[in-house]
Chain A
Amino acid sequence: MQDYTNYTPEDFAQDDDFIQWVKSPEIERETFWQNWQETYPFKRNDIELARQLVLLTRHLPEPNVSGEEIRAMKSEVFRKIEELDTPEETGFRQLPVWRWASAAAVTGVLLLAGWYMFLYQSGTSPVYQEMVSKASEEYKLIEIENSDHSPKLINLPDGSSVLLKKGSRLSYPNHFKKELREIYLTGEGFFEVAKDPERPFYVFANEMVTKVLGTSFTVKAYSEDKQVFVKVKTGKVSVFQSGTVEGKENFNTKELRGLVLNPNQEATFEEGKVVAGKQQDKKQDTATDPQIQDMMFEYEEVTVGEIFAQLEKAYRIRIVYDKTVMEKCPVTASLTDEPLSSKLSLICKAVRSDYEISNGEVIIRGRGCD
């Protein structure tokens, strides 16, 4: 042991053993320092001063950062990494994941969220090229083309998701503006738009604009027939012609103007006009696989394993999780048209786990459900 008899208060305050004793006294150190003070009572004052000096350092300034902010920082790190690792695709903004006590609570929240839509168009239309080159003056655009057979999942920077059909292309900015979200499509896509009424979401396809405040819908805009088709699955969207004065007004308002479509309604843009009603069904997919736009995501006491299996099919994505601990966890939830990110974060809340999207795979981490 150190000879402490000549120590000043400052010396004590710099001694590691002494510091440890002050910060977290364990039995051994406590005994030592108590005995030491018994043996050298004239040092008691110095010891007390030194103790106060060490304690004073607890009052160093601390930043005020919540656990939620820290989680958001972490998500942002992983989002950027994803973006840098695969330069042509942006990553995914993971919503903050809170721990939820019960699956029942989830249901209530889910009903508040969501809409969706879909949209089509094929080949690369000249209108698309023109729009993209104009937009790239303003934004750094990311363009994704799906040359695979099966639909490709794209996670947009705002958390919205798009299932892009074969042969279709989508362009979107790497960061959306504060006041609006704009994307450009040629071909066909099914959109699940993250709800953000302050930031309307616009899909430009041929000469038609679909405006959404958060919804799910399909847009079909194949270039050769100059026709654009929109069908709403949930929520509400408005459609109008781009480039006209009226169109500009519709664009700038926070409300939905133009032709407003409700769930299961559809509209076609043809020969300069937006027409409500059924499309001529020539481009309908003949695939027998269930399509996401026809799927329901209602679960009552359904196991996580089944839910993940359905999501894997709907979004053509692999979900990796520890089957032995999680597969059988039951979940009751009513998911509809929130983007994949929201669906995952809600399910994860129910089974107290976290998720991450990495290299086109969803990785779930959790300890199961007791």
Chain B
Amino acid sequence: MSGYRYNNEKINDDRILWAELIGGDKAALGQLFDLYVSELLSYGYRICRDTELAKDAIQDVFIDLWMYRSNLSKDVQVKYYLYRCLRNALLKQIDNAQVSAFGIQEADSLEDPDASPESQWLATESDTRRHSQIARVLENLSDREKEVISLKYYSDMKIRQIASLLNLKEQTVANTLQNALVKLRKHLVYLLVMLLSSY
């Protein structure tokens, strides 16, 4: 489980690297890659649930950055821009392959049909098991809710950025986040009760 990152210096760094990239510095491209590859992998994987697809799309994004560097705008939020490129690249591919994804449809295909809170938490036998069940709580969210949660808590994006990334209104994103948290809280209360009663 990778942790959270809080690199404020990243933001200053990446603007410099971005300018160098536009100026034709290949090393800057490599450094941007190093800086963002792991969070892009997480984000890409969460969109398509396919590691290879995510890897390919990320490579394409960086190749395109280089090939079209002279057309890039100097004044962008680099991280947001990279997420946006990756998302577009993946959606294009997913569209072709007709795979369900975050945001494309509010698919509930990933939900386990009998994933009621009860059935999920009754058999909390071991830590590993509990761990995977916590992960399953998140599976009760719709794809869009998961994507918003991921962008908010994992990628530290502002509602405004999430809205623009997903082509949604800010209010829609705020509502989605609120609904997701309410859902999670319901499962969580159940979880806490189970934990307490098991001691």
Distance in angstroms between the alpha carbons of A84 and B69 in the assembled complex: 14
6 contacts between A and B (CB under 8 A): A10-B185, A23-B6, A60-B146, A61-B138, A62-B42, A64-B51
Q: Are B63 and A62 in touch, CB under 8 angstroms?
A: no
Asked if B23 is at the interface of the complex by the 8 Å CB criterion, the answer is no
Asked if B94 is at the interface of the complex by the 8 Å CB criterion, the answer is no
Known A56-B137, A62-B42: A84·B63 in contact at CB below 8 Å = yes
Binding site for A on B (CB under 8 A): 1-4, 6, 26, 29-30, 33-34, 37-38, 41-42, 44-46, 49, 51, 54-55, 58-59, 62-63, 66-67, 131, 134-135, 137-138, 146, 149-150, 152-154, 177-178, 181-182, 184-185, 188-189, 192
Provide the main secondary structure of the chain B interface.
Answer: helix
Kindly identify which residue among A53, A78, A80, A358 contacts B181, using a CB–CB cutoff of 8 Å. Answer: A53
Q: Are A56 and B184 in touch, CB under 8 angstroms?
A: yes
Asked if A14 is at the interface of the complex by the 8 Å CB criterion, the answer is yes
Q: Are B46 and A61 in touch, CB under 8 angstroms?
A: yes
Q: Are A80 and B185 in touch, CB under 8 angstroms?
A: no
Distance in angstroms between the alpha carbons of A76 and B52 in the assembled complex: 14
Binding site for B on A (CB under 8 A): 9-10, 13-14, 19-20, 23-24, 49, 52-54, 56-65, 69-70, 73-74, 76-78, 80-81, 84, 356, 358
Q: Specify which chain A residues have a CB less than 8 angstroms from the CB of B33 in the assembled complex.
A: 74, 77
Q: Are A63 and B134 in touch, CB under 8 angstroms?
A: no
Q: How far is the CB of A68 from chain B (nearest CB, A)?
A: 13
Q: Are A62 and B45 in touch, CB under 8 angstroms?
A: yes
Known A49-B185, A62-B2, A77-B59: A56·B37 in contact at CB below 8 Å = no
| Chain A minimum-CB-distance residue to B134 | A59
Q: Are A53 and B185 in touch, CB under 8 angstroms?
A: yes
Kindly identify which residue among B3, B67, B150 contacts A81, using a CB–CB cutoff of 8 Å. Answer: B67
Q: Apart from A53-B184, A56-B138, A62-B45, list 15 A-B contacts with CB within 8 A.
A: A23-B6, A59-B1, A59-B137, A60-B153, A61-B49, A61-B138, A62-B1, A63-B42, A65-B41, A65-B55, A70-B41, A73-B58, A77-B59, A81-B26, A84-B63
Q: Specify which chain B residues have a CB less than 8 angstroms from the CB of A60 in the assembled complex.
A: 42, 46, 138, 146, 149-150, 153-154
Q: How far is the CB of B174 from chain A (nearest CB, A)?
A: 8
Distance in angstroms between the alpha carbons of A24 and B156 in the assembled complex: 13
Q: Specify which chain A residues have a CB less than 8 angstroms from the CB of B67 in the assembled complex.
A: 81, 84
Interchain residue pairs A-B with the least CB separation, the first 3: A63-B45, A57-B153, A10-B181
Kindly identify which residue among A57, A64, A74 contacts B149, using a CB–CB cutoff of 8 Å. Answer: A57
Most buried by B among A9, A54, A56, A65: A56
Distance in angstroms between the alpha carbons of A81 and B134 in the assembled complex: 42
Q: Are A81 and B178 in touch, CB under 8 angstroms?
A: no
Q: Specify which chain A residues have a CB less than 8 angstroms from the CB of B4 in the assembled complex.
A: 23-24, 58
Q: Are A10 and B182 in touch, CB under 8 angstroms?
A: yes
Most buried by A among B1, B6, B59, B137: B59
Known A23-B6, A63-B54: A81·B66 in contact at CB below 8 Å = yes
Q: How far is the CB of A307 from chain B (nearest CB, A)?
A: 23
Q: Are B188 and A49 in touch, CB under 8 angstroms?
A: yes
Q: How far is the CB of B69 from chain A (nearest CB, A)?
A: 10
Q: Specify which chain B residues have a CB less than 8 angstroms from the CB of A10 in the assembled complex.
A: 178, 181-182, 185
Q: Specify which chain A residues have a CB less than 8 angstroms from the CB of B138 in the assembled complex.
A: 56-57, 59-61
Kindly identify which residue among B41, B153, B154, B177 contacts A63, using a CB–CB cutoff of 8 Å. Answer: B41
Q: Specify which chain B residues have a CB less than 8 angstroms from the CB of A356 in the assembled complex.
A: 26, 30
Q: Specify which chain B residues have a CB less than 8 angstroms from the CB of A14 in the assembled complex.
A: 152, 177-178, 181
Distance in angstroms between the alpha carbons of A62 and B49 in the assembled complex: 9
Distance in angstroms between the alpha carbons of A62 and B63 in the assembled complex: 24
Distance in angstroms between the alpha carbons of A63 and B46 in the assembled complex: 8
Kindly identify which residue among B26, B45, B131, B189 contacts A59, using a CB–CB cutoff of 8 Å. Answer: B131
Q: Are B131 and A56 in touch, CB under 8 angstroms?
A: no
Q: How far is the CB of B152 from chain A (nearest CB, A)?
A: 8
Q: How far is the CB of B186 from chain A (nearest CB, A)?
A: 11
Known A53-B184, A63-B51: A73·B59 in contact at CB below 8 Å = yes
Q: Specify which chain A residues have a CB less than 8 angstroms from the CB of B30 in the assembled complex.
A: 74, 78, 356
Kindly identify which residue among A54, A61, A77, A84 contacts B135, using a CB–CB cutoff of 8 Å. Answer: A61
Q: How far is the CB of B3 from chain A (nearest CB, A)?
A: 8
Kindly identify which residue among A9, A20, A61, A80 contacts B63, using a CB–CB cutoff of 8 Å. Answer: A80
Q: How far is the CB of A83 from chain B (nearest CB, A)?
A: 10
| Chain A minimum-CB-distance residue to B188 | A52
Q: Specify which chain B residues have a CB less than 8 angstroms from the CB of A74 in the assembled complex.
A: 30, 33-34, 37
Q: Specify which chain B residues have a CB less than 8 angstroms from the CB of A63 in the assembled complex.
A: 41-42, 44-45, 51, 54
Kindly identify which residue among B41, B44, B153, B185 contacts A9, using a CB–CB cutoff of 8 Å. Answer: B185
Q: Are A52 and B192 in touch, CB under 8 angstroms?
A: yes
Most buried by A among B3, B4, B34, B51: B4
